[in-house]
Each structure stands twice: as C-alpha cells, then as structure tokens.
Amino acid sequence: MSRRSRLIATLLAAVGLVAGLAPAASAQPFPGIPVGSEIPAGIEIPAIETAPVWTPVIPGVRTPVVTVPTPAPPRPAPEYSWASIFPTHNEIVGVAQPVMITFDKPIRDRARAEATIGVRTAPEVSGKFYWISDTEVRWRPHHFWPSNTSVTVWVGGRERVFKTGDAVVSTYDNATKTVTVTRNGHVVRTMPASAGRDAYPTYNGIYYNGWRARKVHMDSSTWGLAQDAGGYDVVVDDGVRLSYDGIFIHSAPWSIADQGHRNVSHGCINVSPENARWYYDNTRNGDPFIVKGTTGGHFGAFDGQGDWNY
C-alpha cells in the first residue's frame, strides 16, 4: 500500500470512528444511565449538539465534515416554526459565503432568534450576525473564511454542515481592465475584461459568486431601461451572478475587441466565451469577486450579495 493510500485509509477510518461517536441529539444517553432507562426525578439532561473537527486536505479526496457531540448552551424556545439554512448540507463553498437563515415568519425579538442559533467552526473563526430583513438573518466571519474550514449550523433544533474549499479570489482592476484569479494566493488565470461603461459604471467593492446558469436571460426592462433607449434583451452563456440587482460575470463574444481596453457593458463583467466557461467551471458559490478602481460608487451592503461592504 502506498503512503498516500495509507494516509487516506487512516483518515477514513478516523472519520468513521468519530462519526460513530456522534448520534442524533435525541439519542444521547445521560452519563451513567443506560439507554432506555427512566431518568430519575430532578436530574436535568444537558442538551447535546455537535461541533466540527478539522480534517486535513488530501488531494483528490473529498473528506466529509466530521462532527463530535458537544454540550449545547441554554437556548430559548424559538418564536418561529421553521427556518431554511444555506449553504446546503455537505456543500463546499467559497471563502466569502455567509450563512443565510430564513424564517417562516417575521421575527419580533431578533436577539432571542440569534440565541436559538449555533455556529461552530474548525478551525475556530469569530464572526457576527446581521439582519437582511425581518425574516432573514445572516452570519459571516469578520474576515474571509480560512480555506478548508468545517462548519456546523444549528437553528431551532436542525443542523446543517458544510465546508469551505480553496481560497479562490477574483479581482477586476479597472486600471488594467483584467480579471485576475488566484487560488490560495497563487495566480491561476488572467482574463481581459470589460466592465460598466461611464453611464452604468460597475460599483467598487467585494461581491461573491451566487446563482449560476449555462444560459441566462437578461432583459434591461426589468430595471427600467427600454430596448429603444439603449437597453437589451439577450440570452448570455455561462453567467455567474455577483449581485442581486443583476451584475454577472458572463460570456460576451460581442465585446472581445473591447475586453482589456475599454468598458462597454451596462455594469456586468464581460469576458470571452473561453474565459467565461473557465470561470463557470473553476469557481463555486461564495468565491469572492473584488472590483476596484472604477468610476462607480461603493457596492451596497444590503444588495443581497454585498455582505462584505460594511
């Protein structure tokens, strides 16, 4: 057996062992009392949640989030009945991805709602809650996640686990009109690009990858610009959304001659079909995208994907 094979086998065995130590919270026995026995009166059973364990990176191997039981702090009864959690279970996301929690009803007591939520990380990462609306709260680290961070999120008794992948950071620099992509600090791609023209400059700030599709229908009338007033109604290839108000990085074969030289878009980041396909295939949800040096203002914090701009 090769050294790499032995390392993989050892890790997977450890994963199985630790995973076996972490049954569902409802199955946790009280210490010293056999499972199924009646709990003596006056004894309060501590609530059990789980916490992640850091796992090493092995090239070519996707390791799961490993968790172990941990005592839960006192949590108030939620005023909501249900909440959705993003990222999805076992998803691998970029280092700018916030935790997004949406409740089934408006929240009156925000502090109480936050107290029902547990976010645990390995390695340990500090962060903060912030509210997008009366039904959505988010949590993000104070700085980008470290690569290969394991996270568990508890909300109202439900758990989600996810991990961050490599630190894939893209930067559009208006001085050179290029997008430079780094992976863990090393440049892996440089792409000529065209951003928003003078009338529609792309805002400066930190965006991150969101929803994506191989075909994206873009219609300027949805934000008030008619086609006969200089608008557009077009389907673009390999679009990755950077903001809720419609900024994408996408394929733009019509502006190849402009890419790297001048800004001609209505705010999107235009790149060639080859570069758009590469970006689509080599980045993931939550990878940060930074825009700097344009004539535009500052990207708003509450756009929906502007979490890092305040």
Residue that finishes a domain, picked among 104, 136, 165: 165
Active site residue ranges: 250, 268
Tell me the average pLDDT across 41-64: 79
Has residue 134 been placed in a domain? Answer: yes
Cβ atoms of 162 and 92 within 8 Å: the answer is yes
CA 224 – CA 217 distance, rounded (Å): 16
Has residue 1 been placed in a domain? Answer: no
Has residue 185 been placed in a domain? Answer: yes
Asked whether residue 172 falls in the same domain as residue 159, the answer is no
Asked whether residue 289 falls in the same domain as residue 173, the answer is yes
Which residues are within 8 A (CB) of 9 and not within 5 positions of it... i.e. 6 or more apart? 1
Per mean pLDDT, which range of 47-51, 114-118, 212-216 is the poorest? 47-51
Asked whether residue 175 falls in the same domain as residue 283, the answer is yes
Asked whether residue 99 falls in the same domain as residue 216, the answer is no
pTM, 2 dp: 0.84
Asked whether residue 138 falls in the same domain as residue 180, the answer is no
Per mean pLDDT, which range of 9-13, 136-140, 224-228, 268-272 is the poorest? 9-13
Does residue 18 carry a pLDDT above 80? Answer: no
Asked whether residue 122 falls in the same domain as residue 101, the answer is yes
3-state secondary structure of 260: coil
Asked whether residue 201 falls in the same domain as residue 259, the answer is yes
Per mean pLDDT, which range of 11-15, 36-40, 55-59, 147-151 is the poorest? 11-15
Higher pLDDT, 20 or 54: 54
Per mean pLDDT, which range of 1-10, 201-210, 287-296 is the poorest? 1-10
Asked whether residue 113 falls in the same domain as residue 191, the answer is no
Asked whether residue 179 falls in the same domain as residue 154, the answer is no
Asked whether residue 209 falls in the same domain as residue 154, the answer is no
CATH of the domain at 124: 2.60.40.3710
- Per-residue confidence (pLDDT) for residue 224, from 0 to 100: 79
- Per-residue confidence (pLDDT) for residue 226, from 0 to 100: 80
Asked whether residue 202 falls in the same domain as residue 108, the answer is no
Pairing of β 136-141 and β 150-155: unpaired
- The confidence band for 134, taking pLDDT boundaries of 50, 70 and 90, is very high
CA 111 – CA 153 distance, rounded (Å): 17
Query: Tens digit of pLDDT for each residue in 270-294?
Result: 999 999 999 999 999 999 999 999 9
- The confidence band for 187, taking pLDDT boundaries of 50, 70 and 90, is very high
- Show the domain range for 243: 168-303
Token pair 């547990």: residue: 118
Residue that finishes a domain, picked among 131, 165, 199: 165
In terms of residues, how long is the chain? 310
Counted domains in the chain: 2
Cβ atoms of 238 and 277 within 8 Å: the answer is yes
- Per-residue confidence (pLDDT) for residue 41, from 0 to 100: 53
Has residue 70 been placed in a domain? Answer: no
CA 65 – CA 55 distance, rounded (Å): 8
Where does residue 173 rank: exposed (0-12), middle (13-18), buried (19+ CB within 10 A)? middle
Report which residue type is found at 106.
P
In 21-153, which residue ranges form alpha helices assigned H by DSSP? Answer: 110-115
CATH of the domain at 234: 2.40.440.10
Q: What are phi and psi of 286, to 5 degrees?
A: 90, -5
Pairing of β 66-71 and β 150-155: unpaired
Query: Tens digit of pLDDT for each residue in 228-287?
Result: 777 788 899 999 999 998 999 999 999 999 999 999 999 999 999 999 999 999 999 999
Q: What does the angle CA 106 – CA 72 – CA 23 come to, to the nearest 5 degrees?
A: 105
Cβ atoms of 218 and 233 within 8 Å: the answer is yes
Has residue 214 been placed in a domain? Answer: yes
Tell me the average pLDDT across 208-231: 86
Has residue 216 been placed in a domain? Answer: yes
Has residue 7 been placed in a domain? Answer: no
Has residue 44 been placed in a domain? Answer: no
Does residue 133 carry a pLDDT above 60? Answer: yes
Distances (CA, A) of 59 to 62, 82, 204, 283: 8, 38, 35, 17
Residue that finishes a domain, picked among 120, 148, 165: 165
Query: Tens digit of pLDDT for each residue in 37-49?
Result: 454 555 455 688 9
In the chain, which residue ranges form alpha helices assigned H by DSSP? Answer: 3-20, 110-115, 273-282
Cβ-based neighbour number of residue 289 at 10 Å = 27
Asked whether residue 222 falls in the same domain as residue 205, the answer is yes
Strand extents, DSSP E, the chain? 48-53, 66-71, 83-86, 91-93, 99-103, 117-122, 127-133, 136-141, 150-155, 158-164, 168-173, 178-183, 186-192, 205-208, 212-219, 233-241, 248-251, 269-271, 288-292
